[in-house]
Amino acid sequence: MDKKDISLYISEIEKRWRARTPVTSVIDIEPESRVNRSEMLLWAKQNGISISIMDDDLDKAIFKLFKKLRKEFPTEAWSKRNSATIRRMKELKL
């Protein structure tokens, strides 16, 4: 997985997230789950992008994207970060 693949993946997540904001369906009520991992993995496979879900650079890029979205959309119903997310952020030194 290279930086170009990560960039394309992150751009697609952001595009889909913005398309589903503001919420028009109860399924999309939680900001963190508006774009789910399985749909993005399917998108990557269909577009010939090799994605490893255990990639530190990908995790950092996803955390940066959601940090940006949290700032841009503070009135969304963002959940508190769970312990696994906090632990992963510490591992990545974010």
Residue 93 banded pLDDT, cuts 50, 70, 90: confident
User: What's the pLDDT at 27?
Assistant: 79
**Domain locations in the chain?**
3-91
13-59 confidence digits (pLDDT tens)? 999 999 999 888 887 788 888 899 899 999 999 999 988 878 899 99
User: What's the pLDDT at 4?
Assistant: 93
- Predicted TM-score of the model (pTM): 0.84
User: What's the pLDDT at 15?
Assistant: 96
What's the rounded Cα separation, in Å, for the pair 23 and 62? 21
CA dist 50 → 7, 55, 62, 76 (Å): 12, 11, 16, 31
